């Protein structure tokens, strides 16, 4: 009963818009599964992809989306460890070679042959999407597909970033872009990992973003738009005034990437995750040396990180703050995202 046609959001040229239309349903290859996507989170990466923000070309026409939660409806003949009817997730890493030295060491996001959902292959903004069976997230049956969707990119990515930061329970982490999709999850993964958080965001009307971050467990909120001296304020939010042990930089602007090294604690780590267009890292060599600061990138997560991030959710430690709209309304979500007006995450329902 798999249909031959389905509804999808298709980017027909770089720069957009995304067009809601009917397209054919594809058949999975021997090592692939076909997933009936029920819900998909909307990540800022999807907007970057449509706008051509990055120095890496996308497929065109492109079906975006890489937080797709659904049900396996077909599988190739080589697929043995996942069954029709199982719940599964399409994540950013759609597939990788599994044979190169990166894949062999579970660094599959670094694979030269990685396939990227909603970027180099069609993603989850359609009712039926394909992924390599080895890479689809195994979603426990008791988890609500609508609620878990944003874990598939936002959750995995911030969980991995926190691990990469080396921050230990009891220490302090600053989350830059804390009210956004990744940020909202980062505050909660950090809390679940025993870390204190300083949320940095703002730019909105009123204090909706501050309240949101505080409700997710942030110990302090610093408004980047209103603060007279952001560096001093972030440092002052830690008990000894020496600054957070780690910074997760999730914002879609260059400036905070250049500020983080000024307030991170000596011997601390700045983790770069956000991907603003045409942005550069810049830090003073002198202070980076004498304060022994580490600045590093972190890129999604591997299959093990995926299952661990899902397990935090399954244990009830992560409450995804989301709003659901129809897949047909994706363009409106992109507009809100572009304007910095989203608090938490939007999820699209592929049935409407």
- The structure tokens listed for 324 are 């659901």
Q: CA 327 → CA 19, 45, 113, distances in Å?
A: 11, 17, 30
Indicate which of Zn ion, ligand 8ID, none lies near residue 150 (CB less than 5 to 8 Å, by partner kind): none
* Residue 45 sits in the site that holds ligand 8ID (CB under 6 A): yes
Question: Which of 261, 320, 337, 347 is the binder for ligand 8ID (CB under 6 A)?
Answer: 337
Rule CB under 5 A: choose which of 35, 50, 63, 153 binds Zn ion. Answer: 153
What SS3 class is residue 3?
coil
d(CA 137, CA 225): 38
The minimum distance between CB 344 and ligand 8ID, in angstroms, equals 8
Q: Which two tokens stand for residue 252?
A: 């879609």
Q: Does 43 bind Zn ion (CB under 5 A)?
A: yes
Mark the segment that binds ligand 8ID (CB under 6 A) among 117-125, 272-280, 305-313, 328-336. Answer: 272-280
For ligand 8ID, which residue of 130, 293, 300, 333 counts as binding (CB under 6 A)? 300
- Residue 93: phi and psi, rounded to 5, are -80, 100
Min dist. Cβ of residue 177 to Zn ion (A): 13
Using alpha carbons, select from 244, 203, 251, 262 the residue that is nearest to residue 227: 203
Our finding on whether 44 is near ligand 8ID (CB under 6 A) is yes
Tokens found for residue 251: 């914002």
- How many angstroms separate the CA atoms of 270 and 256, rounded? 11
- Which among 26-34, 42-50, 118-126, 316-324 is the span making contact with ligand 8ID, rule CB under 6 A? 42-50
Total residues contacting Zn ion (rule CB under 5 A)?
8
Cα dist from 294 to 90, 168, 231, 268, 306, whole Å: 32, 16, 17, 6, 25
Q: Which does 249 bind (CB under 5 to 8 A by kind): ligand 8ID, Zn ion, none?
A: none
By CB under 6 A, is residue 176 in contact with ligand 8ID? yes
Work out whether 182 is an interface residue with ligand 8ID (CB under 6 A).
yes
Closest CB 155 distance from ligand 8ID, rounded Å: 10
In the bound complex, what is the minimum distance in angstroms from residue 63's beta carbon to Zn ion? Answer: 15
The distance of Cα 54 from the centroid of its chain, to the nearest Å, equals 16
206/105 Cα distance (integer angstroms): 47
Helix (H, G, I), strand (E, B) or coil at 200: strand
The secondary element (H helix, E strand) that includes residue 333 is helix 330-338
Member of 39, 125, 224, 257 binding ligand 8ID (CB under 6 A): 224
Give which of Zn ion, ligand 8ID, none residue 255 binds (C-beta under 5 to 8 Å, depending on kind).
ligand 8ID
The item of ligand 8ID, Zn ion, none sharing an interface with residue 111, based on CB under 5 to 8 Å by kind, is: Zn ion
- The region of 68-76, 133-141, 236-244, 273-281 touching ligand 8ID under the rule CB under 6 A is 273-281
Q: Kindly give, in sequence order, each residue whose CB lies less than 8 Å from that of residue 221, ignoring residues fewer than 6 positions away.
A: 178, 198, 199, 200, 201, 209, 210, 213, 214
Q: How far apart are CA 269 and CA 287, in angstroms?
A: 13
Q: How many residues bind ligand 8ID (CB under 6 A)?
A: 32
Reduced to 3 states (helix: H, G, I; strand: E, B; else coil), residue 210 is helix
Of 26 and 324, which CB lies nearer to ligand 8ID in the complex structure?
324
User: Does the footprint of ligand 8ID cover residue 181 (CB under 6 A)?
Assistant: yes
Region of residue 34 (phi > 0: left; psi between -120 and 50: alpha; otherwise: beta): beta
The residue ranges that bind Zn ion (CB under 5 A) are 43, 45, 96-97, 100, 103, 111, 153
- Site residues (CB under 6 A) for ligand 8ID? 43-45, 48, 153, 157, 176-177, 179-183, 200-201, 203, 224, 250-253, 255-256, 273-275, 298-300, 337, 340, 342
């Amino acid at each position: 009963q798999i249909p031959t046609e389905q509804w999808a959001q298709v980017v027909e040229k770089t720069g957009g818009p995304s067009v809601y239309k009917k397209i054919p349903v594809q058949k999975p290859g021997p090592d692939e599964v076909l997933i009936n996507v029920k819900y998909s989170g909307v990540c800022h990466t999807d907007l970057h992809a449509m706008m051509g923000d990055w120095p890496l070309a996308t497929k065109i026409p492109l079906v975006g989306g890489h937080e797709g939660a659904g049900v396996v409806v077909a599988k190739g003949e080589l697929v043995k460890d996942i069954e029709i009817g199982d719940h599964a997730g399409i994540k950013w890493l759609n597939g990788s070679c599994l044979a190169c030295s990166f894949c062999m060491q579970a660094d599959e996001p670094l694979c030269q042959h990685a396939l990227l959902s909603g970027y180099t292959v069609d993603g989850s903004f359609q009712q039926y999407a394909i992924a390599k069976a080895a890479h689809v997230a195994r979603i426990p049956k008791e988890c609500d597909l609508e609620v878990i969707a944003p874990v598939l990119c936002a959750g995995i990515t911030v969980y991995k970033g926190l691990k990469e930061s080396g921050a230990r329970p009891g220490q302090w982490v600053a989350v830059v872009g804390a009210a956004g999709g990744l940020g909202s999850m980062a505050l909660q993964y950090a809390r679940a990992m025993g870390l204190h958080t300083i949320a940095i965001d703002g730019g909105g009307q009123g204090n909706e973003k501050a309240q949101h971050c505080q409700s997710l467990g942030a110990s302090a909120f610093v408004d980047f738009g209103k603060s007279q001296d952001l560096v001093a304020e972030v440092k002052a939010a830690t008990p000894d005034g020496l600054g957070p042990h780690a910074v997760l930089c999730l914002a879609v602007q260059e400036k905070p990437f250049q500020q983080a090294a000024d307030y991170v604690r000596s011997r601390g780590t700045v983790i770069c995750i956000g991907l603003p267009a045409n942005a550069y890292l810049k830090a003073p060599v002198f202070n980076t040396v004498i304060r022994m600061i580490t600045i590093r990138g972190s890129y999604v997560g591997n299959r093990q990180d995926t299952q661990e991030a899902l397990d935090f959710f399954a244990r009830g430690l992560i409450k995804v703050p989301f709003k659901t709209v129809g897949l047909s309304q994706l363009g409106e979500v992109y507009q809100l995202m572009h304007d910095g007006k989203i608090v938490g995450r939007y999820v699209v329902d592929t049935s409407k």
